[in-house]
Structure 1
Amino acid sequence: MTRIDSAHETLTEEFRGTGSISDDIAEPRATQADPGSVLERDPGMPSSTWRLRSDAWEYLRFGVKRLALGNDDTDTLTPDSEIYRSLRSLETIEMYWAGFGQRYVTGITDLLETGDYVTALDRIGRVVNRLRGDTVPEDPREEFIDELDRLETSGDGDPRPRFEVLVVDETTAADRDTMRAEALRLRNPADDFIYEYVIVPSADDAVAAILTNPNILACVVRPGFSDRTRQSLSKDLKEAIGLARTDSENTNTIAPARSSLASVQRVLGIADTLAAIRPELDLYLMAGAHIEELAGALTRRFRRVFRREDQLELHLTLLRRVSHLYDTPFFSAIQDHARRPVGVFHALPVARGGSVVSSKWIKDLETFYGLNLLLAETSATSGGLDSLLAPVGTIKKAQDLAARAYGAKHTFFVTNGTSTANKIVHQALVAPNDVVMVDRNCHKSHHHAVMLTGARPAYLEAYPLNDFAFYGAVPINRIKQMLLDYRAAGRLDEVRMITLTNCTFDGIVYDPERVMAECLAIKPDLVFLWDEAWFAFAAFHPVTRRRTAMSAAKRLEDRLKSSTHAAAYREQQSRLFKTDGDPAPDSAWLSERLIPSPDAHIRVYATQSTHKTLTALRQGSMIHVYDQDWVREAEESFHEAYMTHTSTSPNYQILSSLDIGRRQVELEGFELVQRQLDLATSLAQAIARHPLLRRTFRVLTAHDLIPAEHREVGRPMPLRDGLTSMWQAWANDEFVVDPSRITIEISRTGVDGDTFKHEHLMDRYGIQVNKTSRNTVLFMTNIGTSRSAVAYLIEVLVKLADRFEEEQAQRDPELPGDLSVPSPPLPDFSAFAPGYATDAVLPDGDLRAAFFNGQRRGTVEHVSPEALRERVRTGEKPVSAGFVTPYPPGFPVLVPGQVITSEVLDFLAALDTREIHGFDARRGYRVLRG
């Protein structure tokens, strides 16, 4: 169904009888007509409260407007009507959001019960306008707004950025009013920001608030709170709260406070839970009695402890802390530079617009991009701005702030993409003849990096998805088996690093904590490089964050410190090693989830294409580092590699965008990512439910993309079932599917993916997609995706489905369809040719030697696909002279030194990708002469 927010008729159809608004956050209630019945929650409605809240208020305005105008009979306003269902839902929702609050909702209910629909409509309109960011008009019926409501809404037209502060304390209504009034009194016109309180009485309510309200940036805990909520929450939200609290108890490794006060223990518990769910929140404690004992017991959990009378200090602290998040040191420096009058007597004619603004012929450059782009052009050598190669000022500070945001120990900006970021990390950490275990299907930049460093790749094979012509991810047992093989051959010391793609182009996400833990149990000094080119957004959602490399490294580091872990390690070692010290058979190591030594080293690197999933200009990327051996083992070599690959003339606009993009995700990342995931789920829902769309397209789920042995939770689309299902899957399954990516199987259209992408989506309707396979199309949502964009895509798909059905009806049944011939199986890496293989036992080889042999004209010949196939048929083993890489997705099917097989040739022949790097359509493949 097409969603258009402004169309009231559409809203009516969306909400009538679904139960989706009131039941997703509030417990379903029996109807008055049938007390035994339960209003069923729409199983496809995701649990994003921003949408429930917005839609509930929008529907209320529509429904009450019809009553006010006399378009609906008042007899329709029954207790089980959608208007009352929405109000019941909002009674719970508004408890967790600042602004109008539960009393405001109760007041609207009272107005409807007395038949004053006009006043109710006015009050609803104030909320809708505020949610949309519009100026809220004065309420014409002022007698219905008390003084506190008037104070709270008086700043609705204030243009300053606003945030919300959670207060956890069981107080009376009068105390809550006093607290809010005090906060309003402390507002100063000179403040850069304004904030409002969200006051909840219990630990459960505090967890519910930070799971549902992304506007909360800080939390004040007061010891008087209770433990359990008294709200009628939905089953999904109650279970999510339980999971969150249990998860934090299981992962917390900070030594418990030595205090006999039960209140201290409760404070510690809620602090640990809130920090585990949303570590970006600042936690403060406000107490009266025993403040000294509390301060000594609370270790690193709270940023500061206040007495209850220190309201002004709390106010100033909240504002100052948000100013630190808002700070963009390099972007501010660029703006300052652009405003300064300077004389340019160095390179860059374009600087200050010198060669543009006075030109007769290229003034359209300034017209199109604006003068600020030119005013900001300068060089680090000219002074006034920091140097990317040797940062000591604003760039260094900006990188430190990014490290804080992403949970890294160090972060480095890269201005020429993650391809370069990968080469930097490889060069910094591996040396010639080191073995690097590489996902064969990782981006080509890893293969090139291995070649440049002289390391020897040992290719790991992902599980194939032959029905859809792309690969999944590498199962943990394949990684463990390869490490065990190197150990058995006496070569484990040569294995230096493992690099994997998290998440893959098609959205398969690893469990990095499990992978690193089990690999470190076999080799405790392994280095890990996680290519998270498509996963930068994941650091800003409570569920997806746990599968990012930096979060996993932190969790693993904390786990290794615990006495419980040490005991488990000793117990497992007694099983995995015989009394004579020899290891047990490989089957024992593969059948258990391995526990690393408490002395294992956490050495983790992540490369992220910030520009792909967050706000940054093209080629803006980051390298995140969580390396316990950074100073001793990596710092100097890393900086040398950084110097090798980083331009001495970096693009300052890219750097500025990385800086301000970091500000955005720290202040509103949770909201943006939550919305992104929700919209993707809505798209999948629409396709799966629409009668025409589901006849033509099929949404691929975890059941299609992840074999059953790698799933424990087993739900096809966990987020569709609610936050709890997603939480469980992301905590337990070996692989999960990134819900922001929707892969559609299109076999029933009769056209291949490339044709569908170019001729139908792009050329006809202007819809851009990145990747297709022979019979699939990948749609990706991002933090810039809107509901209108999703609605437009659904509309286009409906039109295309109708067109394809008509074409299929007219098709000659005797003619084969475009997709009637199945794709050949996806080929594994064959092997390095004997001249380049290290030995005949293990898979690594000398990629560098093969590459440079392939650069010499006399050692290479070009062979057509037909002639090459004939050579293979007659028993020859031709060897590739270079990389052959279909793009997208950008991983090589052939690498230098690899034996070319019939399976590889069959796969390449069936590709519908228009761009294949390393293959000349006129001359054929480059092959090394025998």
Structure 2
Amino acid sequence: MVSPIAPISRDATTNRDLERNPGMPSSVWRLRLDAWEYLRYAVKLLARGGDELDDVAGMAEIRRSLRSLETVEMYWAGFGQRYVRTIRELVDAGEYRSALERIDAVMQRIRGAGSLDAADGANDPQGAIGSDEPVEAPADGRPRFEVLVVDEMSPADRDALKAEMARMRTDSDAFLYELVIVPSAEDAIAAALTNPNLQACVVRPGFSSRSAQALSRDLRRTIELATETYASPAARRDAGGATQHASIQRIVGLADVIAGIRPELDLYLVAGAHIEDLAGALTRRFRRVFRREDRLELHLSLIRRISHVFDTPFFTAIQEHARRPAGVFHALPVSRGGSVVGSKWIRDMADFYGLNLLLAETSATSGGLDSLLAPTGTIKKAQDLAARAFHSDSTWFVTNGTSTANKIVHQAVTAPDDVVIVDRNCHKSHHHALMLSGARVAYLDAYPLDEFAFYGAVPISRIKRLLLDYRAAGRLDEVRMVTLTNCTFDGIVYDPERVMAECLAIKPDLVFLWDEAWFAFAAFHPVTRRRTAMSAAERLEEQQHSAEHARAVAEQRRRLFDPETGEPAPDEVWLAERLLMPVDARIRVYATQSTHKTLTALRQGSMIHVRDQDWKEVEESFHESFMTHTSTSPNYQILASLDLGRRQVELEGFELVQRQLDLATSIAHAVARHPLLRRTFRVLTMHDLVPPEYRTTTRPMPLRDGLAEMWEAWATDEFVVDPSRITIEISRTGVDGDTFKHEHLMDRYGIQVNKTSRNTVLFMTNIGTSRSAVAYLIEVLVKLAERFEDRDEDDAPAELPPLPDFSEFANGYRTTPDLPDGDIRTAYYAGIRGQDVEHVLGDALRRRVADGERPVSAGFVTPYPPGFPVLVPGQVISPAVLEFMAVLDTREIHGYDPKQGYRIMPEPS
């Protein structure tokens, strides 16, 4: 068997100019931008003729930047390695002004102001990468993208191909593209990992396996990990195995790796002889297979495919509606500004929001606008495009937040007396949904982080233990669904593939609901994507067709079941093994995402993603549930924003997420290295947030050490920490988190944060975070650290007691005394309508509990944020809960009136 991508040589020369400074966070994208910005700054000083350069880094740093860029520019279109060499030669010759002109051209291009034709040489046979004087041309405002071509060519052939493809442009093309031509499979993977502008990849069989580039250790290791992950033997056999040519196996291996890293890229194959045979073997991996002379067809395919991704059917329909003259005779006075523009008192509404918002408002579902409750046109098409982007079988838009999305799924999938296993710390909407559906709730407790006053996540061992307990009690058939929060408020991320595989090994028809309210962005980065629910479900489906997986499952089942009686082995055996999903399991996965929280969408814009092999079983109930919880007057602007947000992340999501992760790592790095900040604040790391038994990673912040370190951690650890979230411990400031948030960050400096605990503050970056915003945050933290330097050591906030686990449901609301599930709905209505409900203040209630009374909560008590209930209807109120609540400093507590106290009822007899 020929390896599709030859192993990376361990003795390959490493370009130390591409290595980071110790502890300095930077992706190759960031390194490239910083290197060009530094060059412009330093060469400009040289061009002035002064001696200021000695105060920065000098000629050694200029040459170091140029050597780095000479490597990485291979992976971007526009200028290339020869262009960088020309700048280096000019600097060496002392021709600083000429060098600066060329550097300025690059910076204009990077910032989006440069000329496409000037960069790629459409009017120059050599192109900008070979010429000394790039040709200037009028700027073209059409959107641009880049196409990766994998083939080993001479410089002259590369220039000729670029010029030929550029000549095919027409004024009617909606988009422009440029070619990035690399000679080897390793270079192709490096380009996919580093260049976010790529939208397509064209593979030609002439490529080699190894790169001649002097790549950094991190990039080489990441290429190796990507190859090990995606270029599987099974994939090679699928292309024909030993009966196929070795060249086809190489093509298949590279295609699988590129698709694994960047599934949003379209793959095309350009071949010579035997194209018909290749098309039959490779159709599943490539959008089309072309002959070498079919360059016009390739050009048209590239343009047309991007137009499909760019399409926003519902947003376009809204625009058309706003432009069309209309008479409004329906129940929406604000439509087309009717009740606003003629008003003497609210004209400022139109001034502030603009006339387009009013023109786009309507309650009509005709004329291309469609109905959210029964979509058949533009909304249906927009949802289908979102399903493609998020790797689901179907996607549903929700206009009143993920709270409603959760209720839709729970009501659709569960029924009264079904048992649902739920993380007690999930968002309050899940608890309310289970009350509405009548399902019986079996709570799981996450591991506590008492030192920081918040919870982590639920270990797989606890989930397995509970499932095995239900099996031992003969009640496993009642367990319907497992609900978990994937990426908690504080950034703890599960391994959904492992959780679902091990649970399905015990009960093969379990349904899973993953609350990914804070994790929608993760689908658009090669490392984070693997821990999304939809990606995990997709891989589990692939395993069902794998002969290797079937053999491994058969071998494990011989250990898990007695071969003679068929009885399962003792629970300890099941708990000790990492269980494999049975090949006949049913993969039924739902994910709810607050698109507006981490991607571009208006507030309350959310999505439900579905991969359910038994969808037909719940399709009708899902539609009924969707109509139950969805307004008949949904906000069309929210729907349009979801459509646009999908377009954005398909076309630039990788770049935006990588930048977000880089900037977050910069914040953590700055706090850890600044002498004043590190005396006052402490960034919590994996070592603080994930106990050692749930991780194998030894590095406290893997991404800070490189993408390869993050890849390995996210591939192996039970829990990881989302690096876009920075939790800072503030005990040494002497104030509690709520005071720090309101009085210092928000009131004094206008910095907004969502969540604090008693002694921590959570800073969340997003795809809209800028470097200037990061710089401002660091500046503010320095000012606050100076303010807190002289504080009194006795001013530290009081320590919180240990976080309370879920106590138990009162006996009258439990099914059996030996299992934890309880009936929230019956308890809720008892708390609403019961005659014996009373309000008791905290001190009096603590005395009653100390005297042996077992009061029962008559409602939900939910500190917000983070938004999970400390008490639910039917729960016995324990001393630990009361002690925790007594010192809680959260200002907003839903379901609790400090003047009246707790709403309680007696335990049923």
TM-score of the aligned structures, taking structure 1 as reference length: 0.93
Select 2:623's aligned residue among 625, 635, 639. Answer: 639
- What is the identity, as a one-letter code, of the residue corresponding to 1:70? G
Q: Distance in 2 between matches of 1:752 and 1:525?
A: 46
- What is the identity, as a one-letter code, of the residue corresponding to 1:854? G
Contact 2:115–2:140 (Cα < 8 Å) also in 1 = no
Q: Distance in 2 between matches of 1:607 and 1:649?
A: 21
- The answer to whether 1:883 aligns with 2:860 is yes
Matched residue SS, 2:239? coil
Contact 2:77–2:146 (Cα < 8 Å) also in 1 = yes
Q: Which residue of 1 aligns with 2:587?
A: 602
- The answer to whether 1:670 aligns with 2:647 is no
Contact 2:524–2:649 (Cα < 8 Å) also in 1 = yes
Select 1:838's aligned residue among 815, 833, 842. Answer: 815
Select 1:818's aligned residue among 793, 796, 811. Answer: 796
Q: Which residue of 1 aligns with 2:227?
A: 245
- The answer to whether 1:109 aligns with 2:94 is no
Q: Distance in 2 between matches of 1:653 and 1:251?
A: 47
- What is the identity, as a one-letter code, of the residue corresponding to 1:577? F
Contact 1:620–1:654 (Cα < 8 Å) also in 2 = yes
Contact 2:696–2:716 (Cα < 8 Å) also in 1 = yes
Q: Distance in 1 between matches of 2:579 and 2:295?
A: 50
- The answer to whether 1:228 aligns with 2:207 is no
Seen in structure 2, the aligned counterparts of structure 1 residues 929 and 844 have a Cα distance that, compared at 3 Å, is same
Seen in structure 2, the aligned counterparts of structure 1 residues 276 and 803 have a Cα distance that, compared at 3 Å, is same
- The answer to whether 1:625 aligns with 2:610 is yes
Give the alignment of 1:667-706 within 5 angstroms. 667-706=651-690
Give the alignment of 1:43-54 within 5 angstroms. 43-54=22-33
Q: Which residue of 2 aligns with 1:376?
A: 360
Contact 2:862–2:870 (Cα < 8 Å) also in 1 = yes
Seen in structure 2, the aligned counterparts of structure 1 residues 483 and 251 have a Cα distance that, compared at 3 Å, is farther
Seen in structure 2, the aligned counterparts of structure 1 residues 439 and 155 have a Cα distance that, compared at 3 Å, is farther
The alpha-carbon deviation at position 469 of structure 1 amounts to 0.2
For each residue in 1:419-444, what CA deviation from the matched residue of structure 2 results, as whole angstroms up to 9, or x when unmatched?
00000000000000000000000000
Q: Distance in 2 between matches of 1:714 and 1:444?
A: 34
| Structure 1 gap ranges (5+) | 1-24, 31-38
Matched residue SS, 2:868? coil
The alpha-carbon deviation at position 700 of structure 1 amounts to 0.1
Q: Distance in 1 between matches of 2:784 and 2:844?
A: 41
For each residue in 1:639-661, what CA deviation from the matched residue of structure 2 results, as whole angstroms up to 9, or x when unmatched?
01001000000000000000000
Q: Distance in 1 between matches of 2:442 and 2:360?
A: 46
- The answer to whether 1:181 aligns with 2:163 is yes
Q: Distance in 1 between matches of 2:812 and 2:134?
A: 77
Q: Distance in 2 between matches of 1:920 and 1:138?
A: 67
Q: Distance in 1 between matches of 2:318 and 2:418?
A: 42
Seen in structure 2, the aligned counterparts of structure 1 residues 180 and 757 have a Cα distance that, compared at 3 Å, is same
- What is the identity, as a one-letter code, of the residue corresponding to 2:154? T
Seen in structure 2, the aligned counterparts of structure 1 residues 76 and 251 have a Cα distance that, compared at 3 Å, is farther
- The answer to whether 1:501 aligns with 2:478 is no
Contact 1:521–1:597 (Cα < 8 Å) also in 2 = yes
Q: Which residue of 1 aligns with 2:556?
A: 572
- What is the identity, as a one-letter code, of the residue corresponding to 1:482? L
- What is the identity, as a one-letter code, of the residue corresponding to 2:700? P
Select 1:322's aligned residue among 306, 312, 315. Answer: 306
The alpha-carbon deviation at position 817 of structure 1 amounts to 2.1
Q: Which residue of 2 aligns with 1:453?
A: 437
Q: Which residue of 1 aligns with 2:758?
A: 774
The alpha-carbon deviation at position 45 of structure 1 amounts to 2.6
Q: Which residue of 2 aligns with 1:88?
A: 67
Matched residue SS, 2:431? helix
Select 1:916's aligned residue among 893, 899, 902. Answer: 893
Q: Which residue of 1 aligns with 2:455?
A: 471
Identity of aligned residues (%): 72
Select 1:205's aligned residue among 187, 192, 200. Answer: 187
Seen in structure 2, the aligned counterparts of structure 1 residues 356 and 722 have a Cα distance that, compared at 3 Å, is same
- What is the identity, as a one-letter code, of the residue corresponding to 1:179? L
Relative to structure 2, which stretch is displaced further, 350-359 or 376-385?
376-385
For each residue in 1:489-533, what CA deviation from the matched residue of structure 2 results, as whole angstroms up to 9, or x when unmatched?
000000000000000000000000000000000000000000000
The alpha-carbon deviation at position 74 of structure 1 amounts to 9.2
- What is the identity, as a one-letter code, of the residue corresponding to 1:571? E
| Structure 2 gap ranges (5+) | 1-11
Matched residue SS, 1:841? coil
- What is the identity, as a one-letter code, of the residue corresponding to 2:876? V
- The answer to whether 1:127 aligns with 2:106 is yes
Q: Distance in 1 between matches of 2:710 and 2:134?
A: 36
Contact 1:43–1:720 (Cα < 8 Å) also in 2 = no
Seen in structure 2, the aligned counterparts of structure 1 residues 40 and 408 have a Cα distance that, compared at 3 Å, is closer
Q: Which residue of 1 aligns with 2:45?
A: 66
Contact 2:25–2:669 (Cα < 8 Å) also in 1 = no
The count of residues paired between Structure 1 and Structure 2 equals 888
Give the alignment of 1:20-59 within 5 angstroms. 27-29=14-16, 41-59=20-38
- What is the identity, as a one-letter code, of the residue corresponding to 1:377? E
TM-score of the aligned structures, taking structure 2 as reference length: 0.95
Matched residue SS, 2:441? strand
The alpha-carbon deviation at position 262 of structure 1 amounts to 1.3
- What is the identity, as a one-letter code, of the residue corresponding to 2:172? A
Q: Distance in 2 between matches of 1:161 and 1:704?
A: 44
- The answer to whether 1:158 aligns with 2:136 is no
Seen in structure 2, the aligned counterparts of structure 1 residues 29 and 532 have a Cα distance that, compared at 3 Å, is closer
Contact 2:125–2:163 (Cα < 8 Å) also in 1 = no
Contact 2:755–2:866 (Cα < 8 Å) also in 1 = yes
Q: Which residue of 2 aligns with 1:196?
A: 178
- What is the identity, as a one-letter code, of the residue corresponding to 2:142? R
Q: Distance in 2 between matches of 1:504 and 1:29?
A: 38
The alpha-carbon deviation at position 27 of structure 1 amounts to 3.3
Relative to structure 2, which stretch is displaced further, 483-492 or 40-49?
40-49
The alpha-carbon deviation at position 929 of structure 1 amounts to 3.7
Matched residue SS, 2:72? helix
- The answer to whether 1:850 aligns with 2:835 is no
- The answer to whether 1:870 aligns with 2:847 is yes
- What is the identity, as a one-letter code, of the residue corresponding to 2:76? W
Q: Distance in 2 between matches of 1:156 and 1:911?
A: 62
Q: Which residue of 1 aligns with 2:386?
A: 402
Q: Distance in 2 between matches of 1:419 and 1:456?
A: 19
Contact 1:253–1:559 (Cα < 8 Å) also in 2 = no
Relative to structure 2, which stretch is displaced further, 113-122 or 202-211?
113-122
Relative to structure 2, which stretch is displaced further, 259-268 or 230-239?
259-268
Q: Distance in 1 between matches of 2:866 and 2:715?
A: 28
Give the alignment of 1:340-489 within 5 angstroms. 340-381=324-365, 383-489=367-473
Matched residue SS, 1:405? helix
Matched residue SS, 2:621? helix
The alpha-carbon deviation at position 860 of structure 1 amounts to 1.0
- The answer to whether 1:892 aligns with 2:869 is yes
- What is the identity, as a one-letter code, of the residue corresponding to 2:107? V
The alpha-carbon deviation at position 49 of structure 1 amounts to 2.0
The alpha-carbon deviation at position 146 of structure 1 amounts to 7.3
Q: Distance in 2 between matches of 1:486 and 1:74?
A: 72
Q: Distance in 1 between matches of 2:52 and 2:488?
A: 55
Matched residue SS, 1:835? helix
Q: Distance in 2 between matches of 1:157 and 1:316?
A: 22
Contact 1:549–1:604 (Cα < 8 Å) also in 2 = yes
For each residue in 1:237-270, what CA deviation from the matched residue of structure 2 results, as whole angstroms up to 9, or x when unmatched?
0000000001003485575222431111100110
